[in-house]
Chains A and B, each alone.
Chain A
Amino acid sequence: MRRRIVQGLLILVALGIAAGGYFRLLTGGPVFLIGGGWLRGELVEEPVDDWNFISKQQHNLDVESRARWLPYSVSVWFMVHEGQLYLLLPNLFGDGLKLRIDEDANLRVRIEGKIYPRRAVQVTDAANMATLLTPFLRRQMAVEIEGAVRRVTSGLGADVWVYRLEDRESLELSNAIAPARSSSVQPLADGKIHSD
């Protein structure tokens, strides 16, 4: 009896390892909210000027980071604003992708079976974030916001990261031509960032 129990446990452990390996290495991307490895799809290297072609029925975007020795892909929230593509990463879902972006901002995103190499640039100013989040909040949370918006600097919601996905080549070219300008708003004395 004891031997059978041990065998059963070993089988479960082996199945768990096999399942983990399968999702991480063989699925070609995340499965629902389970992280995956390499994204499979047709590589698109031409620049994209307008991301409004993304279907309004699509609520998540598959994103791959190769910051570490094993590629990591996850399904995340996204927004399209004025034709540009943004990622929204609340700490609610963990900071795995955010940490990898800190190490290497190059990402690959998959949309309708096609892979687009991009580079993540963090958005930090409150006014810009409010503009970006308004359609997202309406779509995902059925909430409309208006007027002044400010960030809360404590609690679970304090860690929310927004990234604009830029074309890698155009970003490198613009950095070569002119120095980068900071787009962040300095916090006021009370520690909160306000929008005008």
Chain B
Amino acid sequence: MRSRTFVALLGLILGLVQGCGPQGPMGIVPGGPLAGTLVGSPIADWSFTDEHATIAIETRGSWIDHSVTVLCTAQGGNLYIPSRHAPNKRWVQNILGDPHVRIGVDDRIYPARAIRVTDPGEAEAAARAQLRKYLGLEAETVRPLHGPPEPGDDRAEVWMFRIESLPAGDSS
């Protein structure tokens, strides 16, 4: 009994450390505040993320910062991050409450603001870039589907966020 209690307690501690401690997500496991070197100048071109399959995004929670691993696509110098089943995601809800985020790429942290993409043209360009990056496909017509799926439709509801770089210390 004492060994089971110890293992359970250890697991709880590890979970709390991972979720709330000063490190980012580990794969599919969310994390707390990101740790790394803060980049003070805004980024004009995010194309350096093309070599990265995933990056980290830290969002401001109601009581603690919450970070997750996400896909990313650079298009036209901007950075885009998709979210499947977006309304159910904690990090998405955090962004809706406060758009200030921090992006983690390797050991560098970039302050930014996440803006949900609503312009159809921009959404299409981001979707094209995502298809090219992750599936190696270019199609004549690419049409992102917006809004929640109809009853019986098994497609995901995907929201796309544009990441706007901010200088360090800018909370506007």
Asked if A and B bind, the verdict is yes
Interface stretch (choices B33-41, B95-103, B108-116, B137-145): B137-145
Tell whether B106 is near chain A: CB-to-CB under 8 Å: no
In the bound complex, residues from chain B placing their C-beta under 8 Å from that of A137 are 131, 135
Q: Are B134 and A133 in contact (CB under 8 A)?
A: no
The A interface, classified by DSSP as helix, strand, loop or mixed, is mixed
Q: Are A157 and B132 in contact (CB under 8 A)?
A: yes
- Residues in A lying within 8 Å of B, measured CB to CB: 11, 15, 32-33, 56-57, 90, 92, 129-130, 133, 137-153, 155-160
Tell whether B90 is near chain A: CB-to-CB under 8 Å: no
Among B50, B51, B131, residue most surrounded by chain A Cβ atoms (within 10 Å): B131
Tell whether B127 is near chain A: CB-to-CB under 8 Å: yes
Among A147, A151, A156, residue most surrounded by chain B Cβ atoms (within 10 Å): A156
Q: Are B10 and A133 in contact (CB under 8 A)?
A: no
Interface size on B, residues (CB 8 A): 33
Query: How many whole Å from A143's CB to the nearest CB in chain B?
Result: 5
Contact partner of B135 (CB less than 8 A), chosen from A11, A138, A160, is: A160
In the bound complex, residues from chain A placing their C-beta under 8 Å from that of B84 are 140-142
Asked, given contacts A15-B10, A155-B132, whether A141 binds B82 with beta carbons under 8 Å apart, the answer is: yes
